[in-house]
Amino acid sequence: MSGKVTRAEGITGLSEKNIPGLQQQHGKNIFQYEKPRQLYQVFMDIVREPMFLLLLLACIIYFLLGQLAEGFMMLIATCFVATISLYQDIRSTKALEALKQFTEPMVTVIRDGIEKNIQTRELVPGDVIKLEEGNKIPADAIIIQANDLTVNESIITGESIPVEKDETTGHNAVYQGATINSGLCYASVSATGNSTVLGKLGKVITAITVPKTLLQLQVNKFVRQLAVFGISAFLVIWAINFIKTGLWVESLLFALTLAMAAVPEEIPVALTSFMALGAWQMSKLGIISRQPQIIENLGSVNVICLDKTGTITENQMTVKAIYDFEKDVLIDTGPEWKNSLVLQYAMLASERNPFDAMEKAIQEANMQYIIHPYWRTLTQVYEYPLQGRPPMMTHVYSKNNHYIAAAKGAPERIVQVSNLRDNQRQQITRYATEQAEKGYRVIGVASAIRKDKPFPETQDAFNWQFEGLLCLYDPPRKNINQVIKQLYEAHIDVKLLTGDYAETAVNICKQTGIKGYLRYITGDQILAMKEDELKKSVEEVSLFVRMFPEAKLQVINALKNNGHIVAMTGDGVNDAPALKASDIGIALGKKGTEMAKQAADLIITDDDLGKVVEAIRQGRKIFSNLKKAIRYIISIHIPIILTASVPLLLGWKYPNIFTPIHIIFLELIMGPTCSIFFEREPVEENIMALPPRRRTISLFEQDELLISIVQGLMITTGVLWLYHFSMNNGASISHTRTLVFTTLVISNIFLTFTNRSFMQNFTKTIHYKNKLAPWVLLISVLFLIVINLVPAIQSIFGLSTITFTNLLLCTGVAFVAVIWFEIYKTNLYKPEQPFIRKKR
């Protein structure tokens, strides 16, 4: 960790050498209400899964029937299935734990007299921490030094009004979970983890049950429907077999075969692993997802709302020009700002240790051009925080036997409260507009003299004298034009929400390529609109100016009410409500406030807005691959289910061709293919040229599900034709089973590779880079060789030796049953309108 010399005079904090001992004594600064999930608990969860119970039941029946070889084979296969499930669970859990490390909040701490940033979990009692506006307090602490400090303690007290805090006893305690509303302080940690007031109350966010997402609900509903079908089919097959044979145990075994074929246990596993591993992969790209489930919304984003300052601009302001009202002159060269009162009063209205980019620019200009700083001789005695619409803030200082007030804020507000004539107001407004058109952020500065206390209840009530205007420039990020272009190409509407003048915002839109800037709406207009009018306006307008938190929130909610999936970017305290309300809140990790990061769903670690495009690309990829996996499972389960049931229902000569042995080994191939192979598939090259997917109550579009069903039925047709052909030509049941089982395995290989894309044919997908592709092919081929050439295995599977001619026949039938989809993609796929429907 890099450090710097602290500005807190006389505070050295703890020594690093003492930290290990204190952490051993007090533990980490984390809540520990639940013990970590142990390995045996993971195993017990697997054991309780329906598929595992079906396998165990089938294994017991084999032993009861005296078929020991089959029983031991089932036992080994069951262990394999449990091992694969255990591996996937551990893999997902590790990814989520690693993700927690990335989302751990940071805090500025003083150790050995040096300021450094550490994770909040590393804090110990006695640590000195620096807290400033927007920070969430990471531990209980006692204030050592404070400057204009107010704290929102609603999480503790339920009271939303900020509380003033200082170094005096009774007002010097701050509590974990509360938020710094304004000002800055240094505080000594008094309690951590479960020992804090919040810890004792048990009000920890991570303990709150996160509601299931739409995708989780869709998948659970789909799996329940298949489970109901499986149970019904199980009872029917058991009854029919028992009526025909009178053997209830053997009938149960064949019924279990169908039940195992119908239970799609791969789908929930795939959903969990895709989301967890997808979030982990994104974190390595510098995109931190606070909840893996949020990734499902990334592929649906069709509107993104951008904050200007610090998001599409560098948030590195510099003072570019000063309008001196007394001299009635605009000065745009630094050397002429020497001892400018406008600049000095702007500094008086700012924090002494600024953390805001604008105030840092004001301080830097003062340090560079003010030779005898007037503000250094004054003592601040009162503060009016930034408030109002448009906002302004005021600091009051004592000077001999009177008081001096300094204010800065939106020009129209400062002009409104100052003692000015109408023609002067018009002149100042014209100056402000002209500078805003150059892309500058313009603020007004005023001063007032007051002889005695008490101070006015509101800052507007001072006898304000207008001092002038400050013009600051915050350049657009270097790559922002390309980012905006990529968002438009991905069919995502871009809207700019800013607190700046319309003229400033229009200039930025022109520079960055944001469309539709000729018409704009202000924050006050937003709040004055009725619901229907607002919902219409947010569709037609892309530029929103003079915005404040309530107005931003209204715009976000209106867009959501119109059915859009809305992403919102921001970095400031005032962005937090809108970030929280959006479908995907995106905060900046470096310059963003802690409040913004805590409210967001995604955090961009390096503040590069280009990562937003990458996040959407990854979200689309993850959802696309998940759908490939689920559609693959649907397609391959259909022929297994129908091959196990149709011959019995139609009264064929060999009614029960499969046993649980065959199904479990098909599952050993299908399970990893579904949840591991498809998860590793790369991003399809044209995925960002497609419209965002629609978020509907159904997991699939009708045509998507239809294609998967047709794929399954085509394979079923090929398998049953071969089944019927072999049986009616006098072949034995073992020979018929060999042809049917071999055709299913080969069909599975072809299906895996054709389902790598539902848009591009094999000539394109063969070039997709997936390290598991050759392994899927190799393992499947080895499996075929073993079951067809090893006598002991042949016997257990009830197979006979397959001839080369019959192997070609099985391969040909499987090829024909699957290859139609490649022809379909080649002839019907149109780049501008793929299988995903555009929003009507």
Classify each residue of 235-261 as buried b or exposed e, where b means 16 or more C-beta atoms within 10 Å of its C-beta. eebbebbbeeeeeeeebbbbbbbbbbb
In order of start, what are the domains of the chain with their CATH numbers?
1-207 (2.70.150.10), 217-285+615-828 (1.20.1110.10), 287-314+477-605 (3.40.50.1000), 324-469 (3.40.1110.10)
- Local structure of 64: helix, strand or coil: helix
**What count of other Cβ atoms lies within 10 Å of the Cβ of residue 492?**
21
Task: Please report the DSSP string for 172-209 in residue order.
Answer: -EE-TT-EEEEEEEEEEEEE-GGGSHHHHHT--GGGSP
Question: Distance between CA 221 and CA 233 in Å, rounded?
Answer: 18
Single-letter amino acid, residue 523: G
Q: Which residues of the chain have pLDDT under 50?
A: 1-6, 33-34, 203-210, 830-840
**What count of other Cβ atoms lies within 10 Å of the Cβ of residue 368?**
12
Residues 6 or more apart in contact with residue 223 via CB below 8 angstroms: 264, 267, 268
Q: What's the pLDDT score for residue 837?
A: 38
Question: Distance between CA 578 and CA 839 in Å, rounded?
Answer: 25
Q: What's the pLDDT score for residue 81?
A: 64
Q: What's the pLDDT score for residue 166?
A: 86
Q: What's the pLDDT score for residue 806?
A: 92
pLDDT tens column, 253-291: 667 666 666 666 667 767 777 777 777 778 778 887 777
636 and 818 Cβ atoms separated by less than 8 Å: no
707 and 720 Cβ atoms separated by less than 8 Å: no
DSSP β-bridge partners for residue 174:
141
pLDDT tens column, 637-696: 889 888 888 888 888 888 888 877 787 777 777 767 766 788 888 888 788 888 887 766
Residues 6 or more apart in contact with residue 13 via CB below 8 angstroms: 109, 110, 111, 112, 113, 127, 128
Q: What's the pLDDT score for residue 4?
A: 36
Single-letter amino acid, residue 250: E
φ/ψ of residue 388, rounded to 5: 95, 170
155 and 130 Cβ atoms separated by less than 8 Å: no
Strand-by-strand arrangement of the 602-604 sheet:
287-289, 602-604, 584-588, 566-570, 303-307, 493-497, 543-545, 520-522
Q: Measuring CA to CA, which residue among 695, 591, 579 is closest to residue 296?
A: 695
What is the CA angle 126-132-137, rounded to 5?
50
Classify each residue of 212-227 as buried b or exposed e, where b means 16 or more C-beta atoms within 10 Å of its C-beta. ebebbebbeebbeebb
73 and 54 Cβ atoms separated by less than 8 Å: no
Residues 6 or more apart in contact with residue 811 via CB below 8 angstroms: 746
φ/ψ of residue 291, rounded to 5: -135, 120
Which ranges of 687-761 does DSSP label H, i.e. alpha helix? Answer: 702-728, 733-754
